[in-house]
Amino acid sequence: MARERRGARPLELAAFRQDVVAGLSRPQKSLPPKYFYDAAGSRLFARICRLPEYYVTRAELALTRQHLAAVARFAGRGCQLIEYGSGEGVKSRLLIRALRPVVYVPIDISEDALRAAARALAREFPWLRIAPLAGDFSRPLEIPVRRGTPSVVYFPGSTIGNLTPDEAHAFLSMSRGVAAKMLVGVDLKKDPAALHAAYNDKAGVTAAFNLNLLARINRELGADFDLRRFRHYAFYNPAGGRIEMHLVALAKHTVRLGRHRFHFAAGETIHTENSYKYSPEEFGALAAKAGFTSSRLWTDRRGQFGLFGLRA
C-alpha cells in the first residue's frame, strides 16, 4: 500500500503513479519534470535561484527591473494577471507593482509553495485580489477571470524551456485562447561552459533537487529507490539546444514499486529534465507558429535571458 502524503489527492496520486510506471518502463527511462515540485523540491528550487552559478533568476530579475516601464506599457495597467508556474513569485512582485492588476491568478502544481507565496503577496499588497489556482498547466484549467477585462499571461523563469518545442507550441497556442498578450521568460543560447556550471553547482543543490524526485517517489508511492545508487548528471546537448538532466545508476540493481520491478544496468540513466535554450530568432519563430502576430524582446545587459512580449 502506498504511503500517501497528508493532503495528497487520490486522483493525483494515481496519475503520478501511472506517469512514473510509464516513464520507468521506456527503453530510455524518463520522469516528467513537473514532479520535481513537491514541498521539498520547491524549497530546493528556491535555493537554486540564489546559487552563484544559476544566472537565470538574477538575469531575469535585472532585465525586468531595467525594462519595467516598457513592459508595463506593453501589458497595460489594470489587467487580469495570470501567471503559470508562479513559484515564489519573486519577479511577479515587480509586475504587480507596475501593472496594478485588478486580479492576480498565480497557478502552480506545487500547492504548498503556491499558498505560501499567495500569503506573502497578500501581506505585501493588501489592495490586490489574489486568486491562487493549484493545478497542472499541461492540462486544461478553469481559470477564474472576468470577460470584458483584458488578461495578460505571465510565464517567467524559462519554465517554457522545460517543455519540448512541440509542447511549448501547444502551450503557447492554448495561452493565446486565455489572453491576447503574453510575457514569456526565455533562457537564451550562450557559452556551454556557463550552462554547464549553472546545472552542476558546487554546493550540490541541483543534485539534491534531481535526487529529490526519487525520494518523492519513495515517500508518496512507496517505492524503494536507494538514492546512494544514483548520481546527478547534467550536460549541454548542443545539437538539441538543451541542458539534459539525468540520474545515473551507479551499479546494476532492481527497484520495486508495488508489483512493478524496474531493472537498472550500471550506467543506465533516468532522463529527468530538458531545459531548452533558444536564440531570439528560434523563439520568435515558435511564437509566430503558435499564432502570435507580433513580439517584443527585452534582454539583460549581458544578453543571457530574454523576456518576450507576445501579442495575438
Which residues of this chain interact with ligand AVI, rule CB under 6 A? Answer: 48, 56, 157-159, 161-162, 199, 206, 209, 273, 275
Q: Binding partner of residue 268 among ligand AVI, ligand SAH, none, CB under 5 to 8 Å per kind?
A: none
Minimum CB–partner distance for residue 300 and ligand SAH (Å)? 14
Distance CA 42, CA 135 (A): 15
**Which amino acid is located at 180 in the chain?**
A
Contact residues toward ligand SAH (CB under 6 A) are 34, 37, 42, 45, 49, 57, 85-87, 90-91, 107-110, 113, 136-138, 156-157, 159
CA distances to 64, 79, 128, 172 from 103, rounded to whole Å, are 20, 7, 7, 22
Answer whether 181's CB lies under 8 Å from 74's CB.
Answer: yes
Burial 228-253 (b: 16+ CB within 10 A, else e): ebbebbbebeeeebbbbbbbebeeee
Minimum CB–partner distance for residue 71 and ligand SAH (Å)? 15
Minimum CB–partner distance for residue 200 and ligand AVI (Å)? 10
Closer of 128 and 248 to ligand SAH (Cβ)? 128
DSSP string, 193-209: HHHHHHTS-TT-HHHHH
Minimum CB–partner distance for residue 210 and ligand AVI (Å)? 7
Partner residues linked to 311 by β-bridges? 181, 294
Which strands sit side by side in the sheet containing 29-30, from one edge to the other?
29-30, 269-276, 242-249, 230-237
Q: Binding partner of residue 273 among ligand AVI, ligand SAH, none, CB under 5 to 8 Å per kind?
A: ligand AVI
Q: Binding partner of residue 56 among ligand AVI, ligand SAH, none, CB under 5 to 8 Å per kind?
A: ligand AVI
Closer of 199 and 262 to ligand AVI (Cβ)? 199
Closer of 86 and 304 to ligand SAH (Cβ)? 86
Minimum CB–partner distance for residue 220 and ligand AVI (Å)? 20
Minimum CB–partner distance for residue 248 and ligand AVI (Å)? 16
- Helix 111-124 with 90-99: angle, nearest 10 deg: 40
3-state secondary structure of 215: helix
Q: Binding partner of residue 275 among ligand SAH, ligand AVI, none, CB under 5 to 8 Å per kind?
A: ligand AVI
Closer of 159 and 299 to ligand AVI (Cβ)? 159
Q: Binding partner of residue 49 among ligand SAH, ligand AVI, none, CB under 5 to 8 Å per kind?
A: ligand SAH
Residues with Cβ within 8 Å of 158's Cβ and at least 6 positions away in sequence, in order, are 56, 60, 185, 186, 187, 275, 305
